[in-house]
Amino acid sequence: MASEAQSTEHELLKTALAVGFRIVGEEVLAAPDEAEFGMRLELKFVAEDDDDELDEDDVAEETAEWGSLGFLFVLGALSFADAKPRNVSIIDYSEKDNFGLADFVTGLRFLRGESHFDADYIRGRRIKTRVAVRTNGTVRIETIGRGKAVLRWLEQMKAQKLLRVVGE
């Protein structure tokens, strides 16, 4: 029988996979070490189907209301799964570790009218991922030292591949 946390994770995952989005801005963030670059992306929530009768801004706002927590959770989970240790963080690292509800809640904040997920290191994994969902249905994602991994995570979300609920 699934635990309450696993059931909640499953619901967040299902919600996230129903969220449509498109990338509207992309910027590579330079770092002192050329191999440590990050990215800043701007996204906008959109309807999954191309219904011309729907107002794009209304869809984005409505999606932010019902989909933001699931979207944040899945980005956190994908970032965690893709993260490796760096320097002394190897001490706390376990390759068979999973991102869970407690990890998500620890990084979750509501600031200046935006829902935020922010993670630096989690159990030895160098996450360095910040995501903000605004009430107007726009999203800002920033990663540090993760290269273009965030683009792969978004592709996984769109394709709904390689995603599974922890414990299933």
Token readout for 90 is 């190897």
C-alpha span between 108 and 27 (Å, rounded) = 24
Looking at per-residue confidence, does 142 or 52 come out higher?
Answer: 142
What band does 34 get if pLDDT is binned at 50, 70 and 90? confident
Task: Look at residue 61 and tell me if it is in a domain.
Answer: yes
User: Among 38-47, 79-88, 112-121, which is the least confidently predicted range?
Assistant: 79-88
Strand pairing report for 125-134 and 108-111: unpaired
pLDDT of the residue at 133: 98
What band does 144 get if pLDDT is binned at 50, 70 and 90? very high
Task: Look at residue 116 and tell me if it is in a domain.
Answer: yes
Domain that holds residue 134: 4-159
Mean per-residue pLDDT of the chain: 88
Task: Look at residue 164 and tell me if it is in a domain.
Answer: no
Q: What is the mean pLDDT of residues 142-167?
A: 79
pLDDT of the residue at 92: 76
pTM, two decimal places: 0.87
pLDDT tens readout for residues 50-97: 555 678 989 999 999 999 999 999 999 999 999 988 877 788 778 889
pLDDT of 40 strictly over 90 = yes
pLDDT of 46 strictly over 50 = yes
Number of folded domains that form the chain: 1
Q: What is the mean pLDDT of residues 109-133?
A: 95
Task: Look at residue 91 and tell me if it is in a domain.
Answer: yes
Task: Look at residue 168 and tell me if it is in a domain.
Answer: no
C-alpha span between 38 and 16 (Å, rounded) = 23
Task: Look at residue 167 and tell me if it is in a domain.
Answer: no
pLDDT of 166 strictly over 50 = no
Is 26:96 a contact under the CB 8 Å cutoff? Answer: no
pLDDT of the residue at 160: 61
Q: What is the DSSP string of the chain?
A: ---HHHHHHHHHHHHHHT-EEEEEEEEEE--SSGGG-EEEEEEEEE-SS--TTS-HHHHHHHHHHHHHHHHHHHHHHHHHHH----GGGGGG--TT----HHHHHHHEEEETTEEEEEEEEETTEEEEEEEEEETTSEEEEEESS-TTHHHHHHHHHHHT-S---TT-
pLDDT of the residue at 127: 94
Task: Look at residue 80 and tell me if it is in a domain.
Answer: yes
Task: Look at residue 147 and tell me if it is in a domain.
Answer: yes
